[in-house]
Amino acid sequence: MGKKQGKRTKRETETCDSRVDPGAGTPAPAPSRPSPFDTVITSVRSSRHLQVLIGLTIAGLLLRFYNLGGNSLWLDEASTLTFARQTLAGIWESTAGGEFNPPLFYWLEHGMLLFGESEFVLRLLPALLGVLTIPVVYLVGKEFRDRDVGLIAAALLAFSPFHIFYSQEARAYAPMLFFFSLALLFYVRASRSDETRSWVFFGLFSAVAFWMHFYAIVPVAVLILHALVTRAGDIRRDLRSARNPVISVVAFVAASLPLLIVTVNLFLVRTSSAPTFGVQGFDVVYQTLLQVSGFSDLVMAAFIVLFLVGVAVTWREDRNGALLLVFMMVLPLVASLALSSRMPMIPRYLIYLLPVYFVGIASAYPALYALVKDGRAVYLAVAAAVLISTPFLATYYTTPQKNDWRGFSAELSGMTGAGDIVVVLPPYMAQPLDYYYSNATDETIELGANTGEDLRAIQEQYPGRQTFYVVTWDILAVDPTGDALGWLDKNAEFSGQRMGIYLFVSA
């Protein structure tokens, strides 16, 4: 019998193996692989850091979307709408013709107009990308040092008054920061691993950030400088060590070449004369640090100390990382200080400092941990980030944060009548005014003026007409001599003001 069994044919064996038999001779089925969704759920359930990060992101979403359409559009946001209404080609022509903002954000807002022109719709994209920046900053901190640093940095951004404010503004600052944060993430990865793919992604995301806002070129240049400085020894020994940084530069240039050509011309225009607005001198440094720290001198002082501690802690283990923190904070501020006498400088242009600033502050955490020796201290640091922002949040949503053109226009409509003259100083302030006020409905005549001579000409053209003069302090940017204000002082009566919008009525 044993001999017969040993001579079973292959066919007989296959037939036996194919039976549904719970016996020992049947092979066990291979275990099913978990789905990507199951993998994510398992990771979240097993990681307290991911749970806190999700909570921070949800909190950041609520803070950035709550009352998103509550404040009136102000000049810059109304200007966004003006450009977004153009065709895609027209937007590019405006940039090439001298508009001081790249076209990408306007192109995206052009698409958003499919959903309407409300304040909420115009601010939706910056708010969304502002929320998404929170987990990206976590990844930057994690890549730079560890999960604790990433979590603290994400908490600082989630509750940052500066970032919340500009995430609720229909301008390119929050979107630019999102893409620059991605570029920074891949730069940190590339500097650690030297993977060509990471260098390419660094160059490409840097280009997208640049297409969002011209000032993104400053931190990108600083990162390239950091790469060359930290690799200087290797490059001297073997030029091939510069290959990957060069690849990232090529990727950046290839993706942004048309805009680079335009940028050179705009830079020459902007530096051709002294600026008539913006912050100048050392005040650029002070105001920038004050605002990115949450508009509080006390918090600013504490943050600067923590940042310096973070640099010192990082220096002991990672000198290249410490140099990255110093380069990214110091060089843009020095450049802004030097250029402030030749071109406008405003703290919001340096919003790209936030991820490095917060990662540097969070890098002081190991010093705190060394004192308490308790892993739960990271959650206390996160709680501190929340508490620090409480005074700002207590009033932010209950008081107007921008020029109240909505309320002003309602009052103006109640005062004007058919045939009255409405003069806007300077004329471009008609953009936010006309978003809320209709001279066609009120049957008024709306005009613009820059100087006292313009005002005299209007008075002569419409003698005896009731005239309302709508004025903001921007008039001093186009008329630094104060001629227009002097004319109003002599020929009109001050009627009142609303959040920086002043109304004069003909005497």
Residue 28 lies in a domain: no
Mean pLDDT of 407-432: 96
Statement: residue 467 has pLDDT above 70 = yes
Quick count: other Cβ atoms within 10 Å of Cβ 287?
16
pLDDT value for 80 = 97
Q: What is the mean pLDDT of residues 157-161?
A: 98
**Amino acid letter, 292:** V
Q: Chain-wide mean pLDDT for the chain?
A: 91
Q: Domain check: are 269 and 210 in the same one? A: yes
Same domain, 164 and 264: yes
Q: Which residue has the higher pLDDT, 15 or 435?
A: 435
For residues 146 and 266, the model is more confident at 146
Q: What is the 3-state secondary structure (H, E, C) of 415-435?
A: HCCCCCEEEEECHHHHHHHHH
Q: Are residues 170 and 232 in the same domain?
A: yes
Which amino acid does the sequence have at 388? I
**Residue 380 reports pLDDT greater than 70:** yes
Predicted local distance difference test score (pLDDT) of residue 1: 41
DSSP bridge pairs for 501? 498
Q: Domain check: are 462 and 328 in the same one?
A: no
Cα gap 484→423, rounded to integer Å: 12
pLDDT computed for residue 27 by the predictor: 61
pLDDT at residue 370, as a whole number: 80
Looking at the domain assignment, is residue 191 inside a domain?
yes
Q: Could you tell me what percent of the chain has a pLDDT over 90? A: 77
Q: Per-residue pLDDT averaged across 402-431, rounded?
A: 96
Instruction: Give the dihedral of Cα atoms 369, 374, 378, 380; nearest 10 deg.
Output: -110
Query: How far is residue 466's CA from residue 417's CA, in Å, rounded to a whole number?
Result: 9
Q: Where are the alpha helices (DSSP H) in 145-214?
A: 147-158, 161-167, 173-193, 196-212
| One domain for residues 309 and 439 | no
Q: What is the mean pLDDT of residues 418-440?
A: 96
> Do the domain assignments include residue 23?
no
Q: Is residue 289 part of a domain?
A: yes
Taking every pair of Cα atoms in the chain, the longest distance, rounded to a whole number of angstroms, is 127
Model confidence at 315, pLDDT cuts 50, 70, 90, reads: very high
How far is the C-alpha of 228 from the C-alpha of 200, rounded, in Å? 16
Is 35's pLDDT higher than 80? no
Q: Is residue 495 within a helix (H) or strand (E), and if so which, with residue range?
A: strand 492-498
Report the domain count for the chain. Answer: 2
- How many residues would you count in the chain? 507
DSSP string, 286-297: HHHHHHHTTS-H
Tell me whether residue 423 is in a domain. Answer: yes
Residue 29: per-residue pLDDT: 62
Return the pLDDT at 84.
Answer: 97
Assigned domain for 12 exists: no
Q: Which residue has the higher pLDDT, 422 or 339?
A: 422
How much of the chain, in percent, has pLDDT values that exceed 70?
Answer: 93
- Three-state SS sequence of 222-237: HHHHHHHHHCHHHHHH
201 and 239 within one domain: yes
Question: Please, is 105 exposed, middle or buried when counting C-beta atoms within 10 Å of its C-beta (0-12, 13-18, 19+)?
Answer: buried
Amino acid 96: pLDDT: 87
Do 184 and 206 reside in the same domain of the chain? Answer: yes
The predicted pLDDT at position 30 comes to: 61
Q: Name the residue with tokens 């549904």.
A: 20
Tokens of 26: 């049947």
149 and 271 housed in the same domain: yes
Mean pLDDT score, 438-461? 95
The domain in which residue 165 lies consists of 45-396
Tell me: do 476 and 351 sit in the same domain: no
Q: Are 362 and 153 in contact (CB under 8 A)?
A: yes
